[in-house]
Amino acid sequence: MIQFTEVSLQRGTQFLLEDTDLTIFEGQKVGLIGANGAGKSSLFAMIKGDLNADTGSVVLPGNRRLAFMAQEVGETQRSAVDYCLDGDEQLRIIESNIARAQAQENNHDHAHWLGEYETAHGYSAQSRAETLLQGLGFKMADMQRPVSDFSGGWRIRLNLAKALMSPSDVLLLDEPTNHLDLDAVMWLENWLRQYPGTLVLISHDRDFLDGICSHIVHLYQKKLVLYKGNYSNYERQRAEHLAQQQANHERQQAKRAHMQEYVNRFRYKADKAKQAQSRLRMLEKMEIIGPAHIDSQFEFSIPVAEKTSQLLINLSQANLGYTLESGAKVVQLGDTNFAIRDGQRIGLLGPNGAGKSTLIKSIVGELTLLSGERITGENLKIGYFSQHQLSALDLEASPLLHIQRLSPKILESDIRRYLGGFGFTGDDALRAVKGFSGGEKARLALSLIAWTRPNLLVLDEPTNHLDIDMRQALTEALQEFPGAILVVSHDRHLLNSTVDEFCLVADNQIQAFDGDLSAYHAWLQARQANSAQAEKSEATQDKVEKVDRKEERRKAAELREKLRPLRKQVEKYEKAVQTAQTHLDTISESMADASLYNADQREKLQALLSDEAKWKKSLEENEEAWFELQEELEEAEANLA
């Protein structure tokens, strides 16, 4: 078990934890939640032994193997699969001992360590590492690529694979889904559900926590509060507690009344029926879970443009992709017809790399169509959120200044009131962006989008870096937004709560997907199974080809062995011919000297003529023998083949 006893932890003048207790038993899967900056990562550091409590004790049995996910990856030329295998440190030690025993020709040690290698499942390690990497979105072609080739987000995936590869009794994962797409999140959820050890997980993805956790620990007001069950159970229990507070109860009722008014007003209007039904579903859940987020500091809305168009954007007969430096065009989505109308709420699904980001960038105009038409409505106004827009923020400017640049005539008090809904209260509205966390930058980017009053929201992974309360506030704001929405997200709760239809991007095309996220998961599993079968068939074919090549090499070696004596004879006569020809060339040069034919050089001339006759005879004999043996060799090679 992991036991916190009367633990206090102080940072500067502030306490993160104060005289708090917690016991995590073996085999439990615990979700650790709390606002950003509450101390979740510090709690992990105490479990790992990297950080000591100011008072109290944190006890983890010494014989428990601990694995955790690192947050950074240094530059390394190790291949992706080797980097993943490095997670099994004991296996690497065994491999080192095997190599040393071989080098020392110590047969006893060699046999011992081979036994240890088998016990450590070393013979299946490569396959297990490749399975982990594939589950997290890597392709087989990526396995041998050096780590330094991958971008930051993919390196974090490598760290996650390395942690999962490590044999452990306790596994600590800090925001493992932040850099994953929906497919990888679903795969990871299934893997962790089957993990036999104790899991402590920091996550702001409520559906992910729901699918895995047996307990939730809420780091709240400097205490560790344990709830039995998954995240939904935590919400219900916390709601029951908070609902006892009259002020919160009244606030909840006011929000219910507002949503009910919307439903009553629009549920029977054809153009608003889907939105009304979405709010009705939210309303049904609200009575149970609403109060759990009543004390959140985030509450905002996204106003819509005053004017809109019925058809906002239309891609017609379009080829979508990009152009290489060489000028070659790469088409990811071909012959595409895709339209977004006012009020549509679309979620994009599809495997990693299928072209979802290409579609989004083509819609917002970041990518030029390779061919076809992009037709926009007269009153189209896009609010676009993506991760690269966080880096486009002015690092020296404050949230207040960002808004003032958009609307110089708006009163500062009105801007401050607006920013407060996004969590920028007091001096936070005046801080420079360069000191912001990823979550704060994401909140600011969302606030800027909302301020521009779009009629089409295009959101590419908007929940990255956001904590649960902000995700809930964003979900509610999207529910209220009357315009059109196109969203890609790995947050299933946000998708289920805000979109009315799904489109599937796969196999170089986009089409309507008739089903929910459960149906998509089933489709994805079937696709992966078919892909695995195809790879298996290909591997079998490769194995057959390798066997054939091995047999060919064996026969070739046998042929070389049989012909070796004959080849040696051929080489022998070939050298003799070369020797004779060299001597004849030397004699010919000597006989070209005119003085050689003087009377006093007669004996030397006779000697040269005698040598010439001898080497000519040798040349003729060796050439004749060489030709005969060469014919014999060629005939033998033909017969053996």
Q: What is the pLDDT of residues 259-288, one digit of tens each?
A: 677 677 766 665 555 656 666 666 665 544
**Phi and psi angles of residue 326, each rounded to the nearest 5 degrees, phi first:** -70, -10
Confidence class for position 621, pLDDT limits 50, 70, 90: confident
pLDDT per residue over 430-454, tens digit each? 999 998 888 899 999 999 999 999 9
Long-range (24+ apart) CB contacts under 8 A made by 218-222 are: 218/33, 218/34, 219/17, 219/32, 219/33, 219/34, 219/38, 219/39, 219/40, 219/43, 220/34, 220/38, 222/15, 222/16, 222/17, 222/18, 222/20
Which residues neighbour 443 within 8 Å (Cβ) at sequence distance 6 or greater? Answer: 298, 422, 423, 424, 466, 470
pLDDT digits (tens, 9 = 90+) for 214-256: 999 999 889 999 999 999 999 888 877 766 655 656 666 777 7
Integer Cα distance of 570 and 622 in angstroms:
10
> From CA 313, how far away is CA 455, in angstroms rounded?
11
Give pLDDT, residue 564. Answer: 74
Q: In the prediction, which pLDDT does 546 show? A: 53
Instruction: Give the number of other CB atoms < 10 A from CB of residue 624.
Output: 12
C-beta separation of 46 from 24 below 8 A: no
pLDDT at res. 554: 65
Q: pLDDT at position 254, please?
A: 74
Q: What is the pLDDT of residues 88-131, one digit of tens each?
A: 999 999 999 999 999 998 889 989 999 999 999 999 999 999 99
In this prediction the pTM is 0.72
Q: Are strands 215-220 and 29-33 parallel, antiparallel or unpaired?
A: parallel
pLDDT higher at 547 or 161:
161
d(CA 580, CA 399): 94
**Amino acid 608: pLDDT:** 82
Average pLDDT score over the chain? 86
CA distances (Å), origin 315, targets 72, 364, 535: 40, 11, 35
Segment 360-386 mean pLDDT: 94
Least confident interval from 195-209, 265-279, 456-470, 505-519:
265-279
Main-chain dihedrals φ then ψ at residue 372, nearest 5 degrees: 95, -170
Q: How confident is the model over 488-520, as pLDDT tens digits?
A: 999 999 999 999 999 999 999 999 998 888 899
- Percent share of the chain, pLDDT over 70: 87
pLDDT value at residue 603: 82
Q: Judge whether 398 and 428 are in contact, CB under 8 Å.
A: no
- Quick one: average pLDDT of 143-162? 90
pLDDT at 640: 56
- Higher-confidence residue of 289 and 54: namely 54
Q: What is the pLDDT of residue 479?
A: 92
Predicted confidence (pLDDT) per residue in 411-436, tens digit: 999 999 999 999 999 999 999 999 88
Mean pLDDT of the 307-332 span: 90
Mean pLDDT calculated for residue range 358-373:
93
Confidence of residue 557 (pLDDT cuts 50, 70, 90): low
| Edge-to-edge strands, sheet with 223-228 | 66-68, 170-174, 198-202, 29-33, 215-220, 223-228
- Give me the amino acid identity at 373: E
Q: Which residue has the higher pLDDT, 353 or 8?
A: 8
H/E element, 47: helix 40-48
pLDDT in tens, 21-45: 999 999 999 999 988 778 898 999 9
- The predicted-structure confidence for 572-597, as pLDDT tens digits, reads as follows 887 888 888 888 878 877 877 777 77
CB environment 372-390: b (16+ within 10 A), e (fewer): bebeebeebbbbbbbbebb
The model's confidence at residue 307, banded by pLDDT at 50, 70 and 90, is: very high
